[in-house]
Chain A
Amino acid sequence: MRSVFRIFALVVRYFYLIKTSFPRILELMYWPTFQMILWGLISKHLTNSNDTIIQIGGVLIAGVLLWDILFRSQLGFSISFLEEIWSRNLGQLFVSPLKPLELVLSLMTISFIRTTIAMIPAALLAIPLYSFSLFQMGLSLMFFFTSLLMTGWILGIFIIAAIIRFGVAAESLAWGAIFTLAPLSAVYYPVETLPEWIRWLSLSFPQTYVFEGMREVLFSNNFNSNYFIKSIILNIIYAIIAVIVFLVSFEGARKRGGLINTGE
């Protein structure tokens, strides 16, 4: 019970940051909305009366929005942790009864809140602007959202482990690392589009199954639960590895004195 209280304390701490700064809220919503508008216009340009092309336009917007869920989830997780680094607060936190895994759970919670704040305006705006509703995916959208959120958290855990290990020099990973995965994640095209020799790598990522599943829902109105199960199993495997890497990195920082010296 005390553990829940401590997790909640940190969520409150991160929520204060969002709540007290209007530019932060605006910034959260700005990029997903901007991306959606840009890709919506591209899709519209491609669209004519042909139904298939209209569907492709919808797939592009859905791809953009779902990819942004993954990106925002990872960014919300990593940036909230970086706030501790930038404010040289890690030492204070880890002298309190807070446990490393409680920190991770609070980062997951605030990442969920930040992602929701970021994505809802963009998803809603796509309805009047392009007559495309992400919500038409119904329950499957909830599954996709959950899986992508988990993948974002896992990437976030790897990134904060790297920051604890290498210090602020690794902070750029929070913004850039995820884009190295984009070409292999089959966001805008099916896995078959990739060269055969590299498909196995694409299929080892949980997010690939979400985007494959998304296309099946939009083209065939069919939710393929196999895709969802595969993505969740992969997420669980990667989550275990990520937590181990994080704890090893944390103990390494305790040996080197990194918890008190890491900061700007």
Chain B
Amino acid sequence: MSENIIEVRNLSKKFRNHHAVKNVSFDLKRGEIKGILGANGAGKTTTITMLLGLLTPTSGSIKILSTDISKDRYKILNKINFSSPYVDLPKKLTVRQNLYVYGMLYGIKNINQKIKNVAKELDFTGLLDIKVGELSSGQKTRVSLGKAVINEPEILFLDEPTASLDPDTADRVRTFFEKFCKTHNTAIILASHNMEEVTRLCSSVIMMKDGRITDQGTPNSLLKKYGKKKLEDVFLKIARGKK
């Protein structure tokens, strides 16, 4: 039995009178890819932001790599990373400069070689000396993913990682993450609206609605439980509250 590297218990976040996340609990094992599904406003990004320590929970606890992040989040920050369309990299710096700075922040040795490797694997070698502000949204996403793996994290948080990618590039990126997880035994928390992506990558799925977990399990178990052939139909059933 593989160890839990994330343990979330009764996590809640309240903004004034609005409960963004209510009593969320789940575990993540080493090497596991867990999808978080839900409509806009379901609480996916809020949950991930709390796991990253950028947002303080109103109540509940988060343990990452056996560390209570409310007490000592800096202990684990060099072992995690994330990519999200809601945050950018500095636009006036080139891709190489950005990766160099983040490589230094994460204490990476032999940064230049690392940048070359990451750029090759995510197919942006030709973009290294271009300013981030001059890239297309798809190129920016690949560079952001490059930043997310530069420290070879034990846990990776991905918020809609292929949202702005064309089908070919999105497929390459998914293949990259499959390979990356296997070779590094990295666990991933993936928030996505792309059901195909979740079905392909995730070994378990959390369904969220109005800040709560409405269901969770393996993609197959959810399909079976709801009597559907596609995860999208399960998603719609839960999101629209159909019985």
Q: A6-B104, A12-B100, A13-B93 are in contact. Are A94 and B54 (CB under 8 A)?
A: yes
> For the complex, is A20 an interface residue (Cβ under 8 Å from B)?
yes
> How far apart are the CA atoms of A53 and B46 in the complex, in Å?
65
> For the complex, is A172 an interface residue (Cβ under 8 Å from B)?
no
> For the complex, is B169 an interface residue (Cβ under 8 Å from A)?
no
The contact size tier of chain A is: 35 or more
Q: A10-B101, A96-B105, A97-B106 are in contact. Are A89 and B77 (CB under 8 A)?
A: no
> For the complex, is B89 an interface residue (Cβ under 8 Å from A)?
yes
What is the 8 Å Cβ interface bit string for chain B, positions 183-215, against chain A (1 contact, 0 not)? 000000000000000000000000000000000
B106 touches A96 (CB 8 A): yes
A204 to chain B, nearest CB (A): 35
Q: A6-B105, A254-B56 are in contact. Are A83 and B81 (CB under 8 A)?
A: no
A93 and chain B: residue at smallest CB distance: B105
The one of A16, A90, A94 in contact with B97, judged by C-beta atoms closer than 8 angstroms, is A16
> How far apart are the CA atoms of A95 and B76 in the complex, in Å?
10
> How far apart are the CA atoms of A6 and B103 in the complex, in Å?
10
Query: In the assembled complex, which residues on chain B have CB atoms less than 8 Å from the CB atom of A203?
Result: none
Query: In the assembled complex, which residues on chain B have CB atoms less than 8 Å from the CB atom of A6?
Result: 104-105, 107
Interface residues of A in 186-243 (CB under 8 A from B): none
B55 touches A257 (CB 8 A): yes
Q: A16-B97, A17-B92 are in contact. Are A95 and B107 (CB under 8 A)?
A: no
A14 to chain B, nearest CB (A): 10
Q: A17-B93, A92-B87 are in contact. Are A97 and B74 (CB under 8 A)?
A: yes
Q: A2-B107, A91-B54, A91-B87 are in contact. Are A260 and B93 (CB under 8 A)?
A: no
Query: In the assembled complex, which residues on chain B have CB atoms less than 8 Å from the CB atom of A124?
Result: none
B107 touches A16 (CB 8 A): no
Interface residues of B in 66-124 (CB under 8 A from A): 74, 77-78, 80-82, 84, 86-93, 97, 100-102, 104-107
A87 touches B56 (CB 8 A): no
B146 to chain A, nearest CB (A): 12
B74 touches A99 (CB 8 A): yes
The one of A8, A98, A256, A260 in contact with B86, judged by C-beta atoms closer than 8 angstroms, is A260
B115 to chain A, nearest CB (A): 14
The contact size tier of chain B is: 20 to 34
> For the complex, is B147 an interface residue (Cβ under 8 Å from A)?
yes
What is the 8 Å Cβ interface bit string for chain A, positions 53-83, against chain B (1 contact, 0 not)? 0000000000000000000000000000001
Q: A9-B105, A96-B102 are in contact. Are A83 and B90 (CB under 8 A)?
A: yes
A13 touches B77 (CB 8 A): no
> How far apart are the CA atoms of A17 and B56 in the complex, in Å?
32
A259 touches B74 (CB 8 A): no
Query: In the assembled complex, which residues on chain A have CB atoms less than 8 Å from the CB atom of B102?
Result: 9, 92, 96
Query: In the assembled complex, which residues on chain B have CB atoms less than 8 Å from the CB atom of A90?
Result: 87
> How far apart are the CA atoms of A182 and B56 in the complex, in Å?
39
B147 and chain A: residue at smallest CB distance: A92
B76 to chain A, nearest CB (A): 9
The one of B46, B54, B84 in contact with A259, judged by C-beta atoms closer than 8 angstroms, is B54
> For the complex, is A27 an interface residue (Cβ under 8 Å from B)?
no
Interface residues of A in 1-29 (CB under 8 A from B): 2, 5-6, 8-10, 12-13, 16-17, 20-21
The one of B15, B52, B90 in contact with A95, judged by C-beta atoms closer than 8 angstroms, is B52
> For the complex, is B125 an interface residue (Cβ under 8 Å from A)?
no
B56 touches A9 (CB 8 A): no
Q: A5-B104, A92-B147, A97-B77 are in contact. Are A21 and B88 (CB under 8 A)?
A: no
B88 and chain A: residue at smallest CB distance: A88
> For the complex, is A255 an interface residue (Cβ under 8 Å from B)?
yes
The one of B74, B84, B91, B105 in contact with A91, judged by C-beta atoms closer than 8 angstroms, is B84
A13 touches B88 (CB 8 A): no
> How far apart are the CA atoms of A167 and B80 in the complex, in Å?
27
The one of B55, B74, B77 in contact with A260, judged by C-beta atoms closer than 8 angstroms, is B55
A-B contact pairs, 15 of them (CB 8 A): A2-B107, A5-B107, A12-B100, A12-B104, A20-B93, A87-B88, A87-B90, A87-B91, A89-B87, A95-B82, A97-B78, A97-B107, A99-B74, A251-B56, A259-B55
Q: Hey, which bits of chain B sit against chain A, CB under 8 A?
A: 15, 46, 49, 52-56, 74, 77-78, 80-82, 84, 86-93, 97, 100-102, 104-107, 147
Contacts A88-B88, A92-B102, A97-B105 supplied; 14 other A-B pairs, CB < 8 Å: A5-B107, A12-B100, A91-B84, A92-B88, A94-B54, A95-B77, A95-B80, A96-B102, A96-B105, A97-B77, A254-B56, A257-B15, A260-B49, A263-B88
| Top 3 A-B residue pairs of the complex, sorted by shortest distance between their CB atoms | A9-B104, A91-B87, A97-B77
